[in-house]
Amino acid sequence: MAALNTKPNIAAPDDFYADLLAAHEGLSKAESDAFNARIILILSNHVGDREILREALAAAKAQNEEEKRS
């Protein structure tokens, strides 16, 4: 059974993070929102597995649930 990998999986994480911020540099809020939507769709398609995608949605949602409770 495939499962969402929540352990560190990105080599050179600081470099990746810098790339992510660099990609947004100079974009307006609307352009950044559009960029984020495109990157989510691109990565989701790459993952493909519906079960993993469901787990990823739940993992991201957990923060909202926690904020609602507190």
Partner 1 sequence: MDQTVETGGKKIFETPLYPYAKSPDQDPGANAHHPVVIVGAGPIGLGAAIDLAQMDIPVVVLDENDKVSWGSRAICFAKRPLEILDRLGCGDPMVDKGVVWNVGKVFFDERQVYDFNLLPEKGHKRPAFINLQQYYFEQYLVERAFELQRQGKPIELRGGNKVVSVTEKGNGVALSIDTPDGPYTMSADWMIACDGAGSPIRAMMGLDFVGRVFEDNFLIADVVMDADFPTERWFWFDPPFNRGQSALLHKQPDGVWRIDLQLGWNIDKDEEKKPENVIPRLKAMLGDDVKFELEWVSIYTFQCRRMEKFRHGHVIFAGDAAHQVSPFGARGANSGLQDTDNLCWKLKLVMDGLAPDRLLETYDVERIHGADENIMNSSRSTDFITPKSEISRIFRDAALDLSERYDFARPLVNSGRLSVPCVYDDSPLNGADALAGGPARTRPGAPCPDAPLGDGFLLDKLGNEFQLLAIDADIPDQVEDGGIAATALRISAADDASGDLAARYLGDAGSAVYLLRPDQHVAARWPSFDEAAVKTAIRTATGRA
Binding residues for partner 1, rule: CB under 8 A, are 33-34, 37-38, 40-42, 45
Q: Which is nearer to partner 1, 34 or 62 (CB)?
A: 34
Nearest to 4 by CA among 66, 48, 65: 48
Cβ-contact 27, 35 below 8 angstroms: yes
Q: How many CA atoms lie within 13 A of 12 on its CB side?
A: 5
Q: Which is nearer to partner 1, 37 or 60 (CB)?
A: 37
Q: How far is the CB of 45 from partner 1 (least distance, A)?
A: 4
Q: How far is the CB of 11 from partner 1 (least distance, A)?
A: 25
